[in-house]
Amino acid sequence: MEGQLTNRELRIQKKIKDSETHVFKAVFPGQTNHHNTMFGGAVMYIMDEIAFMTATRFCRKPIVTVSSDKIDFNHPIPAGTLVELIGTVVRVGRTSLDVRVDVFVESMYREGREKAMTGTFTLVAINESKRPVPVFDEVEE
């Protein structure tokens, strides 16, 4: 039957939905540079942290970051604003998965928000010996 998802694909879709991670942070002056905007490295740090949380929630195994794609800083993140980071699994491989992290910035005292940046991180599930293991356990049908 063309167009129908397999049981495995349905389980993966459910895990993707259930593992989507939303985190809010306030940007304080100690996190900003001399332009009063958040340090790029500080943003990348929390993006990687959200990718880690999302991947862990998906596979429930020890996980490590192995790479990140290009991250464009499209909108500055000033001190005194809120940021929302949203992690979503966008690719599931055998031992790795990709997590897209979208970063939105909003004023604390006005409505509305703007996407500041997006990045994709590749993470790998590992065992006690730090060797790759499957991110998705097959279940007998």
| CATH code: domain of residue 95 | 3.10.129.10
Residues 81-122: pLDDT tens digits?
999 999 999 999 999 999 999 999 999 999 999 999 999 999
Assigned domain for 128 exists:
no
Assigned domain for 140 exists:
no
Residues 30-83: pLDDT tens digits?
999 999 999 999 999 999 999 999 999 999 999 999 999 989 889 999 999 999
Assigned domain for 141 exists:
no
Q: Specify the number of domains making up the chain.
A: 1
Q: Which residues pair with 91 in a beta bridge?
A: 98
73 vs 70: CA distance, rounded Å: 10
What's the Cα-to-Cα distance from 123 to each of 38, 97, 140, rounded to whole Å? 25, 6, 26
The pLDDT of residue 98: 98
Residues 115-133: pLDDT tens digits?
999 999 999 999 999 999 9
Judge contact between 7 and 141, C-beta under 8 A: yes
pTM of the predicted protein model = 0.91
Assigned domain for 30 exists:
yes
Assigned domain for 29 exists:
yes
